[in-house]
Amino acid sequence: MSLRNHKAPLRAAALAIGAVLMLAGCAAVNVRQLETVRRTLPQTDERLAAAAPYAWDLRFAGMAFTVYPATPGGDRVIFANPEGLRVYWDGRAVYRVEGLPGALGLLQSGIEGEERWFARDGSPTVRLRCAPRRDWRLSATQQGWRVECRGEVGGRKVSATQVAEFGADGGLRRIEATVIPGVSPMVLERRWK
């Protein structure tokens, strides 16, 4: 370790102490003041612990995340995490994904008649022809629906799917959704069954 790297933690500590003194108006900082500041900051760990029973697993392109659902109204659900990942579901399809790490950018899709379109930042919009929705039922506790779409991207045949699975209680249990044609679908699955 070089001497320059060895001093970095000391510099960081000195800057932090200096910032606290500036915030305190150069007066002595007491424990009560620090506790007041701490209470005004969001307690992410406490909020996540309270939301843990409602957590869903999201898997896509070799990545895995924990997300939490929020329902702004109707069949719409927004799955989100504290790092800014947002997946929007309208009861028929995942229609928007934002905040994925890397260079994926904003992913959007929509339905127009018998076609589904897919848009990705910096890429041309892709349109695929879709078959009508098919309901399926494996058992009283495993049922849902599926939409399959097919087309071409750059002369290569691709397919896309939107699958929703519901539990015995009728609640949404699993979503499988193509967000980039030609790439394996994104999977959202609730942890509690």
- What does the pLDDT look like over 54-66, one tens digit per residue? 899 999 999 999 9
Could you tell me the residue ranges of all domains in the chain? 3-40, 44-190
Residue 181 to residue 163: CA distance in whole angstroms: 15
Q: With 90 as the cut, is the pLDDT of residue 127 above it?
A: yes
- What are the φ and ψ backbone dihedral angles of 91, each rounded to 5 degrees? 95, -15
Say if residues 88 and 95 touch (Cβ distance below 8 Å).
yes
> Which CATH number applies to 44-190?
2.40.360.10
Q: With 70 as the cut, is the pLDDT of residue 183 above it?
A: yes
Of all helices (H) and strands (E), which one includes residue 172? strand 172-177
Mean pLDDT of the chain: 79
Residue 53 to residue 168: CA distance in whole angstroms: 18
Q: Which of 70, 67, 125 is nearest to 99 (CA)?
A: 67
